[in-house]
A and B are shown apart, each in its own frame.
Chain A
């Protein structure tokens, strides 16, 4: 199985909004509403921020939102804050009942 495709890096200024894309195939992202997103700060374990495409776990800021169109899922962060600077990963269920991650996107808050 191939890793999902994410941009290597994105950047934005405080207060702005950014969107990170996650592109797969009809056998993973496009075939199921089972995309999740994770935030990882340096030296830390990943943290779940979005599940099932667009749902936020309790305690996650409503500045984080998710969506999907076709084979591409997206994570949007609004009102960028310095603490949002981190690596972000998408993950999807696949047609063979495995899981696959994206390559990761480094978010820089300017």
Chain B
């Protein structure tokens, strides 16, 4: 069964770029869409954006100017970059899969905590 695993630095300095990778094992990147979702400590879930296996993307309008999601089908990975981070970007970041033309998230990765602090 497919499993997702997030990886990347757990600490990022303010104004720098947060970079995370999600590795997909036990299945293929295609033909699915892949999302990033985050959860600030003690708060609710926020959808960041998705990328199709073909490379097309869509982002949360509130984050669109700072977010880039990319995919590497040869490595079965997709990635997230958030630029100009502040303390408000401190959160557990999850990656998740959606079937094409479907609107649910399953499965999810275990999540990785990213703290923005100097």
Binds A, one of B18-26, B57-65, B67-75, B80-88: B57-65
Whole-angstrom distance from the CB of B49 to the nearest CB of chain A? 8
Q: Please determine whether B35 and A99 come into contact, CB atoms closer than 8 angstroms.
A: yes
Whole-angstrom distance from the CB of A1 to the nearest CB of chain B? 6
Q: Which residues of A contact B61 (CB under 8 A)?
A: 1, 96, 98
Q: Please determine whether A36 and B108 come into contact, CB atoms closer than 8 angstroms.
A: no
| Interface assignment of B109: CB less than 8 Å from any CB of chain A | yes
Binds B, one of A14-22, A44-52, A69-77, A78-86: A44-52
Checking A3, A46, A98 against B105 with a beta-carbon cut-off of 8 angstroms, the contacting residue is A46
A10 to B84, CA, bound (A): 38
Whole-angstrom distance from the CB of B59 to the nearest CB of chain A? 8
Kindly count the residue-residue contacts between A and B in the assembled complex, taking CB atoms under 8 Å apart. Answer: 64
Q: Which residues of B contact A45 (CB under 8 A)?
A: 94, 108-111
The digit string for B32-66, where 1 denotes a CB below 8 A from any CB of A, is: 00010100000011110010000000111110000
Q: Please determine whether B44 and A91 come into contact, CB atoms closer than 8 angstroms.
A: no
Q: Please determine whether A51 and B104 come into contact, CB atoms closer than 8 angstroms.
A: yes
Q: Please determine whether B60 and A98 come into contact, CB atoms closer than 8 angstroms.
A: yes
Chain B residues in the interface with A (C-beta under 8 A): 35, 37, 44-47, 50, 58-62, 94, 102-111
User: Can you identify 16 A-B contacts, CB atoms within 8 angstroms?
Assistant: A1-B61, A36-B104, A48-B106, A51-B102, A51-B103, A51-B104, A52-B104, A57-B106, A89-B45, A91-B45, A91-B104, A91-B105, A97-B58, A98-B61, A101-B37, A101-B44
